[in-house]
């Protein structure tokens, strides 16, 4: 597969986002998180999303020039209308707001409506940790993108409904958990399909994604749908859902309100050390703390990753359509 450097990928993604109408700052943030996903081994949320965002911009599902707006503010609780702006920008705004209010009040909740696809929730949990704040994040598709069947169901009723949590450590990597409530994110299924690889029946049966852990994943998915869709007002699953916007619900806590920061940090490190210091089965992979695989920001420009041939072809087609610089993708037909 062709290889692309991080620096070239950032230039390409930024170029595409700007040509779709994003401001330079919004294009930078979007490119940074898409490329971070690639570098971190999550191509399902990487450059392939540029093709999705271009299609969404054409049909009005994403409005790249829009700005997120606070439409209700009661101090510890805030509601944000994303106006269908790029999700990476909307959710960064909402995360910073949640962290600011948590530092001020101890706790905060921010509900987000009408956001574009925000990418990996881990990025926002990690960002909140950088502010010294604990974050819980929940996201749905405002009732659209119903791809997951309930246990034993013969029809889809939910989206992949991810959730994430971040707990700050004295220094990165922070403790960051990010998971879909289905057995796999739908983007991972598309990566396999694009590469011609089979999709396991454990993941998908009869064209339907399965819930993570059966009834347990189903219960978590309902929780996410209730918070990100119902409570936020973004929209929840129904027989006649609205547009494929993203609803997000953020809960933030200042851990310093629960004890002296140094003591909290010591207890967290002691717990993590105890759990990871465990005899291992022969041949077992190294045990990693969730979040340790997140590439630090700013990204190393000399790093890189592999592009699947099918994705490279799609990106070159997109570059031709927009007049973007496909040469950043490396040698190949333009």
Q: Give every CB contact of residue 193 below 8 A, 6+ residues apart in sequence.
A: 199
Q: How far apart are CA 19 and CA 203, in angstroms?
A: 36
Please say if the pLDDT value at position 333 is more than 80.
no
Asked whether residue 274 carries a pLDDT value surpassing 60, the answer given is yes
Q: For the chain, state the CA radius of gyration.
A: 20
CB half-sphere exposure, 240, CA atoms < 13 A:
0
Residue 1 confidence (pLDDT) above 80: no
Residue-wise pLDDT tens digits, 243-254: 999 999 999 999
Closest CA to 116 of 135, 93, 99, 136: 93
* pLDDT(2) > 70: no
Q: Supply the mean pLDDT for the chain.
A: 95
E strand intervals along 241-283: 246-253
DSSP line for 140-189: E-TT----BPPTT-SS--B----EEEEE--SSSSPEEEEE-SBSS-HHHH
The Cα–Cα gap between 303 and 317 comes to: 25
**pLDDT of residue 12 exceeding 80:** yes
Mean pLDDT, residues 222-230? 98
**Predicted confidence band at 189 (pLDDT cuts at 50, 70, 90)?**
confident
Q: Which residues pair with 164 in a beta bridge?
A: 137, 178
Pairing of strands 107-115, 77-81: parallel
| Per-residue model confidence (pLDDT) at position 225 | 98
Tell me: pLDDT of 112 over 70.
Answer: yes
pLDDT at res. 332: 55
**DSSP structural state of residue 45:** G
Is 198 a residue whose pLDDT tops 70? yes
């Amino acid at each position: 597969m062709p290889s692309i450097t991080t620096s070239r990928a950032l230039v390409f993604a930024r170029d595409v986002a700007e040509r779709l109408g994003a401001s330079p700052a919004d294009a930078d943030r979007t490119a940074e998180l898409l490329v971070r996903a690639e570098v971190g081994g999550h191509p399902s949320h990487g450059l392939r999303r540029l093709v999705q965002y271009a299609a969404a911009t054409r049909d009005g599902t994403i409005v790249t020039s829009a700005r997120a707006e606070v439409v209700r503010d009661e101090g510890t609780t805030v509601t944000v209308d994303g106006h269908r702006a790029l999700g990476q920008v909307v959710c960064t705004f909402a995360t910073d707001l949640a962290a600011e209010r948590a530092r001020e009040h101890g706790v905060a909740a921010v509900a987000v409506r009408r956001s574009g696809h925000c990418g990996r929730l881990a990025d926002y949990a990690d960002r909140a940790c950088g502010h010294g704040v604990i974050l819980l994040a929940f996201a749905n598709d405002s009732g659209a993108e119903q791809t997951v069947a309930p246990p034993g169901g013969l029809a889809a009723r939910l989206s992949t409904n991810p959730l994430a949590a971040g707990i700050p450590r004295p220094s990165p990597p922070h403790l960051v958990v990010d998971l879909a409530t289905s057995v796999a994110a739908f983007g991972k299924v598309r990566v396999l399909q694009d590469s011609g690889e089979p999709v396991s029946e454990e993941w998908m049966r009869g064209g339907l994604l399965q819930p993570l852990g059966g009834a347990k994943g189903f219960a978590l998915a309902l929780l996410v749908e209730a918070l990100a869709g119902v409570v936020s007002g973004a929209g929840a699953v129904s027989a006649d859902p609205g547009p494929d916007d993203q609803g997000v619900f953020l809960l933030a806590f200042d851990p310093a309100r629960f004890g002296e920061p140094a003591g909290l940090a010591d207890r967290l490190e002691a717990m993590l050390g105890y759990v990871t210091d465990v005899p291992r089965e022969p041949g077992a992979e190294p045990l990693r703390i969730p979040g340790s695989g997140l590439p630090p920001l700013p990204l190393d420009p000399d790093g890189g990753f592999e592009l699947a041939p099918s994705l490279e072809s799609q990106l070159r087609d997109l570059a031709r359509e927009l007049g973007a610089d496909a040469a950043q993708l490396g040698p190949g037909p333009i």
